[in-house]
Amino acid sequence: MDFPIISISRFYPDFDRVSKTIFNASQEWGFFIVTDHGIEGASRMFELSRNFFNLPMETKCEKILNEDPVGYDGHRATTFAASEGMSFGLPGNELTKSTNIHSWWDTAKIEEIESFKSQCNALTLKILSCFATHMDLPGNFFDASHRQALPGNTLKLIKYPKMTTKPDVIPRLSEHTDWGSLTLLFTESPGLEVRDPNNQWHDVPVVPDGVIINIGDALSLWTGKQLKSTMHRISWEKVPMHQDRYSMSYFVHPNFSMYQVPCLGTRDLLTFVTTNLRSLSAPYGSDATHLTYKDYFDVRLRLTYGSLERQDGGTNFGEVNPEVLKYLSSLGVANAGILESHAVDVEAL
């Protein structure tokens, strides 16, 4: 079974064929690789990533990840992944407003980050237009829900550091699904595995200059699961412990105001979205239908990063709303894999 690799060099001249191929891959696999995408500067992003992660830990810990999400994580081992990351959330061109970015990221570097994020956003809108078209919706249908508004899209630089021994309770990267609409993944190293259409683990190939794209829970839920949010992981067996592994994820999120309610089909989706863009008002319960992406986002963020502590022992994250979590779990997404990450005392292993 071949992993989908799709050239988009003729995206506009041959839109029907290219978009149908992308749509089919998203239904069957939930993952695919695009080539000839036009994004430039990935090698520079990897250079910045390596340089940042080589800084002393005390320097990196000056700005611990917050709920934007902006900042560093990796100073504490967790049950989610043996990795460290630097996240650049917020809508486009708003990073300079954040007070949670290390001084090492000067104005010139932030401009480079914003430029790269902008290119990723352009590719995102092209991919979303494929889904809209083949769901009998206007091609720009998803643009309105993916404007440059909160929470924005997050570029996360990731390092899986080399280790001398394999920890017993810490995975390289836990089996999980992603939260948002799409994820664009840039990597120069093998190791990623996904569940294929037969529910077997399948190695994702490394394609030079290719971008790995996968569907997130939010888009899968919003489209009535017409698009597949697929479990994926990195195992210790696939990545040698004595080697560092670097990757970059661009996490695409719908705007906070968007509702996350399962839809039965294209017609229901269009009716629902165009008639229900109003403030959250209904309580949660077994028959609840009012779940905004902000509710969903807050739960996933806090489950994953809530155990992170600042240097002063405090945390940047609030408590998980148990009613929202209960309702969210009943929807059939966002409750697969190891969602809640706990801090681990490595010295005690």
- Residue 346's pLDDT band, with cuts at 50, 70 and 90, is very low
Stretch among 124-128, 210-214, 235-239 having the lowest mean pLDDT: 235-239
Stretch among 147-156, 238-247, 260-269 having the lowest mean pLDDT: 260-269
pLDDT mean across residues, the chain: 85
pLDDT at residue 18, rounded to an integer: 98
With CA atoms as reference, report the closest residue to 282 among 324, 241, 247, 229: 324
- Residue 302's pLDDT band, with cuts at 50, 70 and 90, is confident
Residue 274 has pLDDT above 50, yes or no: no
pLDDT at residue 124, rounded to an integer: 98
Query: Beta partners for 232?
Result: 176, 194
- Residue 349's pLDDT band, with cuts at 50, 70 and 90, is very low
With CA atoms as reference, report the closest residue to 255 among 288, 296, 214: 296
Averaged over 131-137, what is the pLDDT?
A: 92
Q: Are 85 and 247 contacting, i.e. CB atoms less than 8 angstroms apart?
A: no
Tens digits of residue pLDDT in 81-123 = 889 999 999 999 999 999 999 999 999 999 999 999 999 999 9
* The two three-digit tokens of residue 100, written as one number: 């949670």
Task: Walk me through the domains of the chain, giving residue ranges and CATH numbers.
Answer: 5-348 (2.60.120.330)
Tens digits of residue pLDDT in 41-77 = 999 999 999 999 999 999 999 999 999 999 999 887 7
**Predicted TM-score of the model (pTM):** 0.89
pLDDT > 70: percent of the chain: 83
Residue 285 has pLDDT above 60, yes or no: no
Question: Is the model more confident about 215 or about 258?
Answer: 215
Averaged over 158-166, what is the pLDDT?
A: 91
Dist. CA 255–CA 263, nearest whole Å: 18
Give the CA distances from residue 192 to residues 31, 157, 169, 204, in Å, rounded to whole numbers and listed in that order: 11, 16, 19, 6
pLDDT at residue 62, rounded to an integer: 94
Query: Beta partners for 5?
Result: 33
- Residue 338's pLDDT band, with cuts at 50, 70 and 90, is very low
Amino acid in the structure at residue 110: I
Dist. CA 122–CA 42, nearest whole Å: 15
Residue 224 has pLDDT above 50, yes or no: yes
β-strands 343-344, 211-215: how paired? Answer: unpaired
